[in-house]
Chain A
Amino acid sequence: MELRDFKAAVDDWLDAHESELACAYEGIGTLDEQMAQLRKVLRLTYDAGFMRMGWPERVGGLGGSNLLRAYLGEVLTAREFVEPGIYSMPEVLAPTMIDYAPEMLAAEMVPRLLRGEEIWCQGFSEPGTGSNLASLACRAIRDGDSWRINGQKVWTSLAQYASRCVLLTRTGTPESAHKGITALFIDMDSAGITVRPIETMHGAKEFCEVFFDDVLVPLDRVLGEVDHGWSIAMDLLPYERSTALWHRASYLQRRLEQLVAAAPAGSLDPVAVGEATELLWAFRARSRATQRRLAAGETLGAETSIDKVLVATAEQAVFDLVAQGLGAEVTLGDDPASQRWRAELLYSRAATIYGGSAEIQRNIIARRLLDLGADR
């Protein structure tokens, strides 16, 4: 289906099903409420066929370009049917499965993710492994017809809801760095997994610690090749910085629009409003070009770090305005709308930290795009 026809069909369908899709709660809701809303919207859009567009047929999709996915997420976000952070996770996880999982496994699992039947998580960071991802230590040892996993992950988003996890493990020597990492696709109900949600500054328990205690995983759950998990992680990160970010831009535009409509006269500095708008528009222009490159079959790489730096900068610029224009709501308000502004303002502080910090993105840009060589 062409993008233009898809847009018209989606828009009509959303108009007709507005009341079914609408959020069942006011304000930001609890994480449980957000997850229930997400599952509902995924299920409805999957059954209507839209959620399957832009994904390959061998994983239950209906084919077509990634632009269809970009548009669907854009409108679902703009209409506030979903929260973009949790909605966009399949944009990262599904391509990894499509590219690296055994065919049967991908065909079996990906549709469950797309229709909201299952939530998945991504086990990358560890207590001692933040920006230096290649130093990860969570161990996987071959034990008969299984992998035996011991170790810990942290900042694992939505692990408490997840049925599966794309897990990076150490299979080489402790010194093997990026050469001894293996990606596994594991069932979160396996014996020996403990999940402990962490409450964040913005009041949600979105991130978790995940402990692995002699967890057994079948050998055929390896994604890609043993000891070659680093390349999977590297291939996955550009996905995290493409379509998902287009969805986020839509959310930021929506919130900025609501801010300028709601802010009392005189509360916002016109220069700051102009600068934030220019920045957000520049980010949208950049992100749209990225979606188009992806649609043209280009492989995304280090240049998506530019998109990531921009979205984080734009998000903080927008919410810096919120702190000014809706100062009373943010600091004193206890109604649902104020709680939502406050939570989102606080969450925006993490935009330069998660998904590869602003510093790591600049390191990537310096090394890979400016060709400045190693930094030591």
Chain B
Amino acid sequence: MESTERALFETGVRHATESGDGAALDAALDDLGWRDALEADRPTAVGVLFESQGKTTTTSAALDWLLASALGVEADGVAVVLPPLRQNGPPGRLDGDWCVVEGLGTAALDRCETALVATQTGDGTATFAVDLGLLTRRPVQGLDPALGLFEVMGEFETAWASSQPQPADWPATAALGQLALGHELVGAGRVMLELARTHALERLQFGRPIGTFQAVRHRLAESLVSLEAAAALLDAAWEDPSPVTAAMAKAFAGRSARSVSRNCQQVLAGIGFTTEHPLHRSVRRTIVLDQLLGAGTILTRTLGADILERAALPAAFAL
């Protein structure tokens, strides 16, 4: 997108995420033409929306739209079953003529009729489109009830799928989802930093704003450094969103958001520990997002283990 077009798009998306959540946000995104933007300029569409969702702690069907489109399905009302918590492989596996499903669904699952289940086959992945009625879903309260996750499980005879299984590149699909979650984590980090910054300017102790104390300033400065680094890594990863770079960017964004969460919680101290202050929403969101589509710690350990095994580093960004 050109800069003026991008600015308009950003304003529209920001407004949408600030004024609606869930189904209302889906509708606002459709009005904005977000899915057209996704076709035209995926990095901008995903980066802008998911960072905004992270900042506003909102949810939409956009992750499902993104993953479905990567799996080659553009229809409405289609949810994509996510891998189980912390994992990153396809949520389905074949057992004879049956497909066994174990995974998660976003809040948009409730607004869909069909589920796409990426399934491990012999040497690749195939996608089944099945009626959601064939699967069991449990609405998750858990750590972050506002995220509205579902646990999805069940098994169906592959012949019941509404279409023939389509060959799919799950690693490439999951990589796009990881980048989206990375942006959402950065957004969550940015809002926590802004909350802590405002507090540091307003809260007086020893006769002066606590933001004049170096111990506080340095925590906030460290938070900004880590968020800007995560944002830069995500932007660079879009140039070649391979599973390796996407996993790095997602893991790094998660680590960054977790460290921002720790710093900002400390600066916000007592008030930030109450439900009267919004911080807790972002703290919860950060912990959960960090564990969707591959837990950050697992992705990082896998990266390190691969590097050591191959005795070589991943491809570097060229100037």
- B is bound to A: yes
Please judge, given known A-B contacts A306-B229, A372-B201, whether A274 and B319 are in contact too, CB under 8 Å.
no
> A281 contacts B225, CB within 8 Å?
no
A286 within 8 A of B: yes
B160 → chain A closest CB, angstroms: 41
Please judge, given known A-B contacts A273-B304, A310-B229, A359-B218, whether A372 and B319 are in contact too, CB under 8 Å.
no
Size category of the binding interface on chain B: 35 or more
B87 within 8 A of A: no
B222 within 8 A of A: yes
A67 within 8 A of B: yes
> B311 contacts A261, CB within 8 Å?
yes
In the bound complex, what is the Cα–Cα distance between A362 and B303 (angstroms)? 30
B252 within 8 A of A: yes
B183 within 8 A of A: no
- Of residues 292 through 339 on chain A, the ones whose CB sits less than 8 Å from some CB of chain B are 303, 306, 309-310
Could you say which of B200, B222, B311 contacts A260, with CB atoms under 8 Å apart?
B311
Please judge, given known A-B contacts A282-B232, A375-B217, whether A274 and B317 are in contact too, CB under 8 Å.
no
Residue-wise, chain B 196-238 has the 8 Å CB interface mask toward A (1 for contact) of 0100110000001101111001101110110011101101110
A369 within 8 A of B: yes
A146 within 8 A of B: no
> A363 contacts B214, CB within 8 Å?
yes
A288: chain B residues at CB < 8 Å are 232, 236, 317, 319
A260: chain B residues at CB < 8 Å are 307-308, 311-313
B248 within 8 A of A: yes
> A270 contacts B305, CB within 8 Å?
yes
> B312 contacts A285, CB within 8 Å?
no
B225: chain A residues at CB < 8 Å are 306, 309-310, 362, 365
> A373 contacts B232, CB within 8 Å?
no
Could you say which of B213, B214, B224, B230 contacts A282, with CB atoms under 8 Å apart?
B230
Could you say which of A256, A265, A269 contacts B313, with CB atoms under 8 Å apart?
A256
In the bound complex, what is the Cα–Cα distance between A270 and B297 (angstroms)? 11
Please judge, given known A-B contacts A257-B313, A362-B217, whether A268 and B303 are in contact too, CB under 8 Å.
no
Please judge, given known A-B contacts A260-B312, A289-B235, A370-B221, whether A269 and B304 are in contact too, CB under 8 Å.
yes
- Of residues 220 through 272 on chain B, the ones whose CB sits less than 8 Å from some CB of chain A are 220-222, 224-225, 228-230, 232-233, 235-237, 245, 248, 251-252, 255
> B221 contacts A366, CB within 8 Å?
yes
B301 within 8 A of A: yes
A310: chain B residues at CB < 8 Å are 225, 229
B167 → chain A closest CB, angstroms: 31
In the bound complex, what is the Cα–Cα distance between A288 and B239 (angstroms)? 13
In the bound complex, what is the Cα–Cα distance between A359 and B303 (angstroms)? 31
In the bound complex, what is the Cα–Cα distance between A366 and B214 (angstroms)? 9
> B316 contacts A253, CB within 8 Å?
yes
Could you say which of A261, A270, A272 contacts B312, with CB atoms under 8 Å apart?
A261
A100: chain B residues at CB < 8 Å are none
B314 within 8 A of A: yes
B302 within 8 A of A: yes
Could you say which of A273, A278, A365, A376 contacts B224, with CB atoms under 8 Å apart?
A365
- Of residues 274 through 319 on chain B, the ones whose CB sits less than 8 Å from some CB of chain A are 297, 299-305, 307-308, 311-314, 316-317, 319
A255 → chain B closest CB, angstroms: 11
Residue-wise, chain A 136-172 has the 8 Å CB interface mask toward B (1 for contact) of 0000000000000000000000000000000000000
> B313 contacts A253, CB within 8 Å?
yes
> A372 contacts B218, CB within 8 Å?
no
In the bound complex, what is the Cα–Cα distance between A279 and B255 (angstroms)? 10
Could you say which of B214, B248, B319 contacts A375, with CB atoms under 8 Å apart?
B214
In the bound complex, what is the Cα–Cα distance between A7 and B319 (angstroms)? 10
Mostly, the B contact residues are helix
A242: chain B residues at CB < 8 Å are none
B319: chain A residues at CB < 8 Å are 3, 7, 67, 70-71, 74, 246, 288, 291
A284 within 8 A of B: yes
- Of residues 235 through 256 on chain A, the ones whose CB sits less than 8 Å from some CB of chain B are 246, 253, 256
Residue-wise, chain A 338-376 has the 8 Å CB interface mask toward B (1 for contact) of 000000000000000000000101110111011011111
A277 within 8 A of B: yes
B193 → chain A closest CB, angstroms: 8
B200: chain A residues at CB < 8 Å are 372
> B220 contacts A272, CB within 8 Å?
no
> B316 contacts A284, CB within 8 Å?
yes
A248 → chain B closest CB, angstroms: 14
A81: chain B residues at CB < 8 Å are none
A275 within 8 A of B: yes
A8: chain B residues at CB < 8 Å are none
A265: chain B residues at CB < 8 Å are 308
In the bound complex, what is the Cα–Cα distance between A269 and B212 (angstroms)? 39
Could you say which of A3, A67, A257, A282 contacts B229, with CB atoms under 8 Å apart?
A282
Which residue of chain A lies nearest to B212 when distances are taken between CB atoms in the complex?
A375
Q: Tell me which of A253, A268, A284 has the highest count of chain B C-beta atoms within 10 A of its own C-beta.
A: A284
> A274 contacts B212, CB within 8 Å?
no
> A370 contacts B220, CB within 8 Å?
yes
New A-B pairs, 5, CB < 8 Å, besides A270-B307, A281-B316: A273-B308, A274-B299, A288-B317, A306-B225, A362-B225
Residues of A within 8 A of B (CB): 3, 7, 67, 70-71, 74, 246, 253, 256-257, 260-261, 263, 265, 268-275, 277-279, 281-286, 288-289, 291, 303, 306, 309-310, 359, 361-363, 365-367, 369-370, 372-376
Closest 9 CB pairs of A and B: A274-B304, A270-B304, A285-B236, A273-B304, A366-B217, A274-B300, A365-B221, A362-B221, A286-B232
